[in-house]
Structure 1
Amino acid sequence: MLVLVADRHPLFREVLRALIEEALPTARCLEAAAIADVVDLLAAGNGVRLMLIDQSLADSDGLTGLVRLSIAAPDVPIILFSGADSRVVAFHAQVCGAAGFIPKSLTRDAMLAAIAVVLDGGIYPPLVDARGRRRPESVERVDALTVRERMVLEALVRGCSNKQIAYELQVSDTTVKVHVSSVLRKLRVHSRTQAVIKTKRTEEEEGAAHTAMG
């Protein structure tokens, strides 16, 4: 199993690589220091099964690098590492296509458990919090979106037009309209404005839930 690890710090890449290869004997890791390097490795057709990407890569403007990788390899799950332990950041990461969000403050065992969840096709953080409580229904509706639908939703929140979204995702305007319609249906709203409002409320609910857990 080939795992791609991308972080701007060589020491962190080395530590993460050793951790993964020790915990998963069949795993072999490729390393990258920038989004451009990751794209090149993916284009080489190495059969990468999982990507572990640091949020603060030099050529990644916010979460745009994550969107770029989701487009380049839509079938490869991505776990985003971050120095911020924030439910709001985690929410945005999932909207942009991440299957997992792991703060670097996580313990070794918790990190490996999160990786296992994603490798099994799941989402981390899960739909149930550490105290067994279900996450808000609005959050679960966002979780039901496909990777492309999450990208479209994130673009809607940024105020992008259909033409801008089509350009970013490298698809036709018609395809964007189909995705927008699907997003509205799954979120149970009737307009783009309502979708944006509900998404922002969902961010607030995630942040409030994280505060309550703390």
Structure 2
Amino acid sequence: MKNEILIVDDHPLFRQALVIAASNIDANANILEAGTLDEALSAAGNAKNLKLVLLDLKIPGANGYSGVALIHAEVPNTPILVISGADAQKAAQEAKRFGAIGFIGKDNDLGKIEEAIGTALKDGKIDDSSSAGDSELDAMAQKVASLTPMQLRVLLGVLNGRLNKQIAYDLGISEATVKAHLTAIFKKLDVGNRTQAALAAQALGIGN
């Protein structure tokens, strides 16, 4: 079975550049492409042999670092390499908190990006010398990372100011199910209500 590499970027030209870079590293790989978070989650969920996700942070449907968190929740055993134009020092730290193995800026040349892709495929990690360095945020990130994909979607609905019935409509579930998810979210995040849950997630970059 061929290796699969998922490239998630809403800019067609840069996405094609990443297709070339990934193909140069693994010529036999099946390259999957997505331009939105929903497309990425669908592709990741349907993949049979997904070896790597190359992810831009700012894609339609993503909010803060929610793209990293949601894809990591969907495919927790697949390395996620963030390739973004965001501030490298801050973004690398935050992305790692939510499950990414590393970060490389879009301002790097193609050779550097190819090197990072090759390392990610071989070792499943990137040594970019970044460190989160905040035990409180790290602890909260672990709690957020423990949420299921649906719980994360419910939490994001809360962050966007949606009511329970609106979240239920958005996700195609019942209002009672939303309430059940919120109870589980509060327990996992060790908070008491919607406001505290939102503040905890916003402190980690989700909802910003």
Query: TM-score when scaled to structure 1?
Result: 0.60
TM superposition shift of 1:183 = 0.9
Map of 2:202 onto structure 1: 200
Q: Using the alignment, how far apart are the partners of 1:154 and 1:182 within structure 2?
A: 14
Query: TM-score when scaled to structure 2?
Result: 0.62
Alignment of 1:21-170 (within 5 A): 21-24=23-26, 26-31=28-33, 34-35=35-36, 38=39, 42=43, 47=48, 49=50, 51-56=53-58, 60=60, 63=63, 74-75=74-75, 81-85=83-87, 87=90, 99-100=99-100, 102=103, 103-105=105-107, 107-108=112-113, 109-110=115-116, 112-113=118-119, 130-131=130-131, 133=133, 135-136=135-136, 137-170=139-172
Q: Using the alignment, how far apart are the partners of 2:157 and 2:91 within structure 1?
A: 16
Identity, in percent, stands at: 28
Cα offsets for 1:104-144 (capped at 9, x unmatched): 24653445545667xx6x9x999xx7358464322222222
Q: Using the alignment, how far apart are the partners of 1:130 and 1:152 within structure 2?
A: 30
Q: Using the alignment, how far apart are the partners of 1:188 and 1:94 within structure 2?
A: 22
CA RMSD of aligned residues (A): 4.6
* 1:182 and 2:190 aligned: no
Cα offsets for 1:82-106 (capped at 9, x unmatched): 3212647985x899xx853744246
5+ long unaligned stretches in structure 1: 205-214
